[in-house]
Amino acid sequence: MLDLLAAAGGSFDVETATRAYLDTLQGSARAQSDAYFEGGYWLILWGTVVSVLIDWLLLRFRLANAFRNLGERVSKRRWLVTGITGFLYLLAGSLAVLPWSIYADFYREKSYDLLDQSFGAWAGEWAIDLAITLIVAPLIIILVYAVIRRAPRTWWLWATGVIGAFLTVGMILGPVFIAPLFNTYTEMEQGPLREKIEAVAAQYDIPAEHIYVFDQSKQHKRISANVSGLGPTIRISLNDNLLERTSEEEILAVMGHEMGHYKLNHVWWIVGIMLSLFALGLFVTSRIAPWLIARHGQRWGVRDIADPASLPVLAICMAVWMFLMTPATNSLIRWAESHADAFGLDAAREPDGFAKVAMRLSEYRKIEPGPLEEALFFDHPSGATRVRMAMQWKADHVENPQVVVPEAGYLDSE
């Protein structure tokens, strides 16, 4: 249960109300949350280092050259040579990075009690993801190298268009063909809760013909929901953790937030800006990669940038670029999340439900970072920022608002 207290003198103080929520996370729970999230800062760096190191090894030991030579022995068609080279590169790289993936995505998650899967189940999903990559990514590589050959000066621009096209197709087909490979999706049962979700959607003309529940509890305890797809594949989805671990007011707050992403066209904004950053990275790569190949290409067995054996060179350039752009990408996503938060508060009108959800996310997100820390490393507003936003909304929109003092341990009670 949550206690309701009127603030002194009958007034509602936003900071007092915010503090009442934040102070429920104390001791070892807060220390573990902080340690997990702060450790993720280093994962960004070390993940880039591992990626660059593996690509360098593929060049140093002329494996990319060997992949290209094998392709040329199989066929004289350049697109097929490129496809074979790309397939072998992706397979070798994925296997080489597997120990790091096991540590970062399985062992570390298990050590913080954030993963419920056995290693066998985790490895099975890793294999499915690899299979999808080996089907789709070589097609992208074939097209990218085709434009490199045909437009050697402006290939980076055309390559961005290729990637954008694949992203669009992925957004359309992903909810129908990819997501069900990892989870089972079933229509949400008819009832009062579904009717309330549909009512929120109806206020903003958001399609709600399909509301799915997916069984993410088999993987972890995190709460999650989304509005995904485009055109005929649009659907609202929420995981079973959200239904089982949270109250109705929390569920409505989450759904209002997710509907905000849809109504505010955040998918297109984020894709557009991310593609712009990617295009700039490819432009930089189009200038640096030829210089690297001119200096070291003979040693690596790479002829020029149009040679598919240059794949690791391009990958190194882009890995470093995206690492340097991490604060920019985090800020972009955080901007969208903050606007969806504001939309969700207006749509669901559940400020305390929203605050409770923000606190639940502290299981794996540091709740109170410093301003610079939040700007650099958070791709969502911090829990403190979100609770404060909810309490400010409450002060501005609720008649005679009350300060909610959550009981100790409520985060683990549902």
pLDDT tens-digit map of 8-58: 445 899 999 999 999 999 899 999 999 999 999 999 999 999 999 999 999
Q: Is this structure's pTM higher than 0.75? A: yes
Please tell me the distance from the alpha carbon of residue 187 to that of residue 226, in angstroms, as a whole number.
14
User: Which tokens sit at 344?
Assistant: 């969700």
Residue 7 has a pLDDT of 42
pLDDT band of 4, cuts 50, 70, 90:
low
- Give the mean model confidence (pLDDT) for residues 109-137: 97
C-alpha distances in angstroms, 351 versus 45, 250, 359? 36, 9, 12
Contacts of 282 (CB under 8 A, 6+ apart): 156, 157, 159, 160, 318
Interior CA angle at 168 toward 167 and 173, to 5°?
Answer: 95
Tell me the percentage of the chain whose pLDDT exceeds 90.
Answer: 88
Please, are residues 108 and 364 in contact by the beta-carbon 8 Å criterion? no
User: Which tokens sit at 66?
Assistant: 């060997």
pLDDT tens-digit map of 59-101: 999 999 999 999 999 999 999 999 999 999 999 999 999 999 9
pLDDT tops 60 at residue 2: no
Residue 405 has a pLDDT of 84
C-alpha distances in angstroms, 235 versus 103, 191, 215, 259, 341? 34, 18, 16, 11, 20
Looking at residue 309, the DSSP 8-state letter turns out to be G
What residues does 283 pair with on adjacent strands? none
pLDDT tens-digit map of 222-236: 999 998 888 788 888
Range with the lowest mean pLDDT among 165-169, 226-230, 259-263, 387-391?
226-230
C-alpha distances in angstroms, 108 versus 102, 104, 113, 217, 223? 8, 5, 9, 18, 19
Q: Which amino acid is at 116?
A: D
In whole numbers, what is the pLDDT of the chain averaged over residues? Answer: 93
Looking at residue 180, the DSSP 8-state letter turns out to be G
What are the two backbone dihedrals, phi and then psi, of residue 239, each rounded to the nearest 5 degrees?
Answer: -85, 165
What residues does 235 pair with on adjacent strands? 228
- Give the mean model confidence (pLDDT) for residues 399-411: 81
Cβ count within 10 A of residue 29? 16
Please, are residues 113 and 106 in contact by the beta-carbon 8 Å criterion? no
pLDDT tops 90 at residue 319: yes
What residues does 238 pair with on adjacent strands? 213, 225
User: Which tokens sit at 87?
Assistant: 């397939």
- Give the mean model confidence (pLDDT) for residues 365-377: 95
Query: Strand, helix or coil at 228?
Result: strand
Please tell me the distance from the alpha carbon of residue 352 to that of residue 253, in angstroms, as a whole number.
9
Please, are residues 200 and 191 in contact by the beta-carbon 8 Å criterion? no
Kind plus residue range of the DSSP H or E element containing 185: strand 185-187
